[in-house]
Amino acid sequence: MDDDKKYRDRLRNQIKEACGKVIYTYTAHHKLADRLEKENKCVKNAQIILTALSSCGFFASIITNKAILTWVGGISAVLSLCLNLYAKEYKIQNEVSQHRNAANMLWDIRESYVSLLVDFEVLEDNEIQKRRDILCEKVSEVNNNYPATDVKSYKAAQRALKDEEEQTFKDNEVDSILPNGIDK
């Protein structure tokens, strides 16, 4: 195998690996955003429940004159206050948006990597290098401007990509969802 062929093989492998990393990161951002949205729903539901318990406990204690209901209302009010302070300081919905935006930017980069791999054989080395470098800069920009993912979201992405084949199609599956005549 001559040196030019070895270099092109290494270059292609580097681009494939970079594309794979982008796919993982893209998926991890979605998994983290999904998890944060669930957490946000739980916090909001807990706020409603605790507010209702504190209000009902207060009014029920006035009507029935039972001390236990005053305690239920008071404890619920304190828990509600704590949860409200947590929600005020930790802007979950903002973080969800950040991760969705990062994923959207990574989607474009992912598609550009796939296109580069498709075009690889017809491009000169210097054009491939130029496109690779531009894509690396774009990935770096996303990583510098958006919050990182965590181990839990990476593991969820790994499970989704490897076990559930989340971003792949079975044979002829794509053809079945395209309008008639496009695949010809």
List pLDDT tens digits, range 35-94. Answer: 999 988 888 888 888 888 787 776 676 677 777 777 777 888 888 888 777 777 778 888
Name 2's Cβ contacts closer than 8 Å, sequence gap at least 6: none
Q: Could you report how far apart the first and last alpha carbons of the chain are, in Å?
A: 37
Question: What is residue 71's predicted lDDT score, i.e. its pLDDT?
Answer: 78
Rounded CA separation 88/73 (Å) = 22
List pLDDT tens digits, range 122-177. Answer: 999 999 999 999 999 999 999 999 999 999 999 999 998 888 877 776 766 666 66
Question: What is residue 177's predicted lDDT score, i.e. its pLDDT?
Answer: 62
Nearest residue to 103 (alpha-carbon basis) of 11, 31, 183: 31
Name 48's Cβ contacts closer than 8 Å, sequence gap at least 6: none
Better pLDDT: 26 or 61: 26
